[in-house]
Chain A
């Protein structure tokens, strides 16, 4: 603490952009070689890709004849946009889906803006009331015309399956995790069996069973909607994975937290809800979001049971004789949209972690 010591600036070469480049890209001869190779690789990949996607691409027009340039033909996507977003949903009823898209977007934006009031209320709306509204909006009832689920498709269907899978699988997963750690042998055994069976089979098998085998076991005349069967399959599949993620978080909790809650007189469920789960879920946020992202991407598997989700419908419109040969555009577009959703979830996970950090 002597005031003799003067403040000495670090050497210029160690700081700033130059310093960073020197330290991270050219610190040794082999790093230099790797950096140069990497730069060369980017040089041969990026410019042609950009020209294909943007500079040489065709954006305007209405038929394939308009696509004369060497780049991508985004007219293909534009002309099939309605199918890609709504599937085969009747044109006169599209407003129902639009309302849902609108409510969803507004609520999510509201939740993302920091420091707004009534976020809890909006969250409950989004998780509880919104899904109920959606059930009536999408399938009909209360004076709305009935729309069969086989007409559902595109991004709409993907969001329905992923949304249901994500929203319902977390509470089920938490219950399964608590069940597996329960002191009651029967509860623990049943939870373990449930988790291990669902984790032990591939999702494709689950969907295939739900679609083709399940009806064989039902009495004649009883018919569950195919989409509902797929939803249940996705939900339990994801719940089993989440259960293990949550259990990991529970196991990381120090014993003292349980003891302090018990000593304060909290009952089991209050202790879990108020003390243990808030902390252990926070610890496993990255893994939970990872699971959600996996569910979102796995929804594409419903194609094998004849449901046309976002990717499925893009493949489907690619087989339209008017648009043969544009599958590249379709897949790139699908990849971009999937990436936006998954990256969004990933960023949200990081934000959440930062926000909930209390400096432990």
Chain B
């Protein structure tokens, strides 16, 4: 049975010019799994998750998301983007729209949801990340942590089956990291399939089913948290862990 496999990557390669940023990536992610990807900067971890919703194009191998293979066909890309939500390091909220409009934009225009329903849904998710009282403000009026939680709510409003997090706490002041991580833990407990690029090892220990360590475009190590921290095989993982822990 492969029905509960949400994402499958088979020998995926990608180059930026001469630079081999993804080198033979093989990955299977099952429904409800939480994967944390870590590694030094430039190791290809962001590129890997950005390939899943086609913000980057892979050049060899294949990526199958929920049974749909990512190809140059726009329909496959649109279908997959509808299933996959993404949270960015820099939040990337739309600064000209209120938080509420940020959240209801895609449901209205992509899901063709009636306006009132989309706004209700947006409120529901804003409540879940505890910023429904900020709904009518503009992004610039919110703190970094609030903006990132709004960005998570915006992604959730599309009711995605998979959530991608690209270093969601790296641009935050230390005291705001926790409020965002708490939301992510809550989401994980709700059974969401999640891929998280992060250096927050505490978060990884707490929620990850699997931690993937990448270096120079390759997956070096892929283990459950206990083994990953107590029993890393490769030298590179050991060095990395000794630097960040």
* B32 at interface by CB-CB < 8 Å: no
Centre residue among A259, A260, A279 by max chain B CB count within 10 A? A260
Quick one: given A263-B55, A270-B109, A358-B140, are A257 and B78 in contact (CB under 8 Å)?
no
Name the B residues within 8 Å of A260 (CB-CB): 86, 88, 92-94
Chain A residues within 8 Å of chain B by Cβ, number: 22
Q: Are B78 and A265 in contact (CB under 8 A)?
A: yes
Which B125-174 residues sit within 8 Å CB-CB of chain A? Answer: 138-141, 154-155, 158
Bound-state CA distance A275–B106 (Å) is 11
Name the B residues within 8 Å of A264 (CB-CB): 81, 105-106, 110, 154-155, 158
Query: For chains A and B in complex, what number of residue pairs have CB atoms within 8 angstroms?
Result: 69
**Which residue on chain B has the smallest CB distance to residue A359?**
B140
* A274 at interface by CB-CB < 8 Å: yes
Centre residue among A259, A264, A266, A356 by max chain B CB count within 10 A? A264
Name the B residues within 8 Å of A358 (CB-CB): 95-96, 138-140
Q: DSSP majority for the A interface?
A: helix
Bound-state CA distance A266–B53 (Å) is 12
Q: Are A262 and B81 in contact (CB under 8 A)?
A: yes
* A185 at interface by CB-CB < 8 Å: no
* A10 at interface by CB-CB < 8 Å: no
Question: What's the nearest-Cβ distance from chain A to residue B66, in Å?
Answer: 14
Q: Are A359 and B138 in contact (CB under 8 A)?
A: yes
Q: Are B55 and A259 in contact (CB under 8 A)?
A: yes
Name the B residues within 8 Å of A359 (CB-CB): 138, 140-141
Q: Are B78 and A360 in contact (CB under 8 A)?
A: no
Q: Are A266 and B140 in contact (CB under 8 A)?
A: no
Which B80-137 residues sit within 8 Å CB-CB of chain A? Answer: 81-82, 84-86, 88, 90, 92-96, 105-106, 109-110
Name the B residues within 8 Å of A266 (CB-CB): 105-106, 109-110
B 41-66 to A, binary, CB cutoff 8 A, 1 in contact else 0: 00000000000011100000000000
Q: Are B92 and A279 in contact (CB under 8 A)?
A: no
Q: Are A265 and B82 in contact (CB under 8 A)?
A: yes
Which A249-290 residues sit within 8 Å CB-CB of chain B? Answer: 254, 256-257, 259-267, 270, 274-275, 278-279, 282
Bound-state CA distance A67–B109 (Å) is 67
Name the A residues within 8 Å of B94 (CB-CB): 257, 260-261, 275, 279
Name the B residues within 8 Å of A274 (CB-CB): 105, 109
Name the A residues within 8 Å of B84 (CB-CB): 263
Question: What's the nearest-Cβ distance from chain A to residue B77, in Å?
Answer: 9
Tell which of B78, B90, B95, B138 touches A279, judged by Cβ atoms closer than 8 Å: B95
Name the A residues within 8 Å of B78 (CB-CB): 265, 267
Contact sample, A vs B, 26 pairs, CB 8 Å cutoff:
A257-B94, A259-B92, A260-B86, A260-B92, A260-B94, A261-B94, A262-B55, A263-B53, A263-B85, A263-B88, A264-B154, A264-B155, A264-B158, A265-B81, A265-B106, A266-B109, A266-B110, A267-B78, A275-B105, A278-B96, A279-B94, A279-B96, A282-B96, A356-B96, A358-B96, A360-B95
